[in-house]
Amino acid sequence: MDSCIFCKIAAKQDPAEILMESDSVVVFKDIYPSAPVHYLVVSKKHIPSIKEVSHEDEALIGHLIHTAKDSAEKLGLSGYKLVFNVGKEGGQIVDHIHLHILGGWAKNKPGSINV
């Protein structure tokens, strides 16, 4: 989608600090972090949110989660949160599906669940 910021980042038309990438997803640093370590796993296919996911996207969603695991390992996170915000009332601002990776809190001080 031409006007979508995450489509533009996935197409390298807008800058981002990319951590890793595959044929179908890209992982980059969140520009306004809500945790000491905050990355986004973003599908290269434009799907607005979890609400629009279809059966044919099941492998893609699995890959999104698996890539989050690989990214967390690469970042050296021993524990972390994975969050999908879904729809405006769910706190979603960017209407392009993405999985938040949140971590980096002190070991005895787990982070809040709010993103």
Which residues contribute to the site for ligand AMP (CB under 6 A)?
A: 5, 16, 30-32, 40, 85, 91-94
CB of 90 to ligand AMP, least distance (A): 8
Catalytic annotation on 100?
no
Partner that binds at residue 16, options Zn ion, ligand AMP, none, CB closer than 5 to 8 Å by kind: ligand AMP
Find, among 58, 56, 60, 55, the residue nearest to 41 by Cα.
60
* Candidate list 38, 96, 98, 100, residue with the active-site label: 98
DSSP bridge partners of 100: 40, 83
Strand pairing class (98-103; 37-43): antiparallel
State how far Cα 22 lies from the chain centre: 14
Residues 6+ apart with CB under 8 A from 44: 10, 23, 24, 25, 26
Contact residues for Zn ion, defined by CB under 5 A? 1, 4, 6-7, 46, 96
Partner that binds at residue 5, options Zn ion, ligand AMP, none, CB closer than 5 to 8 Å by kind: ligand AMP
- Active-site positions? 98
